[in-house]
Amino acid sequence: MLGFWKKTCMFCGAVATKGFRIPDRMNSFICKACYETWEAAGRKCAACDTSVRGVQEVGAFFEQRTLGHADCGGLKLLP
């Protein structure tokens, strides 16, 4: 495998193949490990400090390097 599908995570800098992409920025990608770490920490939103629950859309906050609600100003994640 030549690594054509590998991308660099915008949060941790790791190279991964599985994760989420962000359509609003060029080459933006968040690895699955960063997402799972955020889930294990309670899925807290960086902007409003409440939990992201159920069908609420998850968004990325690049300045804080964390995740939260897309409605709070985060860039929406795509699988």
pLDDT in tens, 14-29: 999 899 988 876 778 9
Q: In angstroms, rounded to a whole number, what is the distance separating the alpha carbons of residues 37 and 21? A: 17
Residue 3's pLDDT is what? Answer: 55
Cα separation of the two ends of the chain:
22
What predicted TM-score, i.e. pTM, was given to this entire model?
A: 0.86
Record the tokens describing residue 44, joined without a space. 């807290």
Query: Would you list the domain boundaries of the chain?
Result: 7-76
Q: What is the dihedral of CA 3, 24, 19, 9, to 10 degrees?
A: 60
